[in-house]
């Protein structure tokens, strides 16, 4: 009988989700500092592009950890929650803006 190796997709999901939250915090920070519009645009594009890659990656890693028998599921649930809640808030703001201004 062979014991299966422990996988760490749940922890990876949690780490990527925390990075995703840091990117949202960075996006909020650059809106408050006094920089030129060109520098703001560059940083804004970099930060949101990174967020758009890291949020789905955290979700995929979290879901993948549920398919593995020897993985940590609690960190993956926390990671998926850390990504899903801010995404739903941003999506709700987007829908409200569409409804109010159209």
| Mean of pLDDT over the chain | 90
pLDDT score of 3: 67
Q: What is the pLDDT of residue 2?
A: 55
How many CB atoms lie under 10 A from the CB of residue 7? 16
Residue showing tokens 């758009």 = 52
Cα–Cα distance measured from residue 15 to residue 76, given in angstroms and rounded to the nearest whole number: 9
83-89's contacts with Cβ under 8 Å and 24+ in sequence apart are: 83/17, 83/20, 83/55, 83/58, 83/59, 84/59, 86/20, 86/21, 86/24, 87/55
Q: How far apart are CA 15 and CA 85, in angstroms?
A: 16
Average pLDDT over residues 66-84: 88
- The DSSP letter of residue 36 is -
So what's the pLDDT on residue 57?
94
Question: What is the mean pLDDT of the segment spanning 5-25?
Answer: 90
> Mean pLDDT over residues 17-45, rounded?
93
């Amino acid at each position: 009988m062979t014991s299966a190796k422990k996988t760490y997709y749940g922890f990876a999901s949690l780490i990527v989700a925390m990075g995703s939250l840091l990117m949202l915090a960075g996006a909020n920070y650059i809106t408050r500092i006094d920089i030129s519009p060109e520098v703001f645009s560059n940083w804004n594009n970099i930060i949101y592009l990174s967020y758009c890659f890291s949020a789905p990656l955290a979700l995929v890693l979290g879901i993948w950890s549920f398919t593995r028998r020897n993985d940590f599921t609690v960190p993956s649930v926390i990671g998926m929650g850390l990504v899903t809640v801010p995404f739903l808030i941003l999506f709700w703001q987007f829908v409200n803006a569409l409804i109010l201004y159209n």
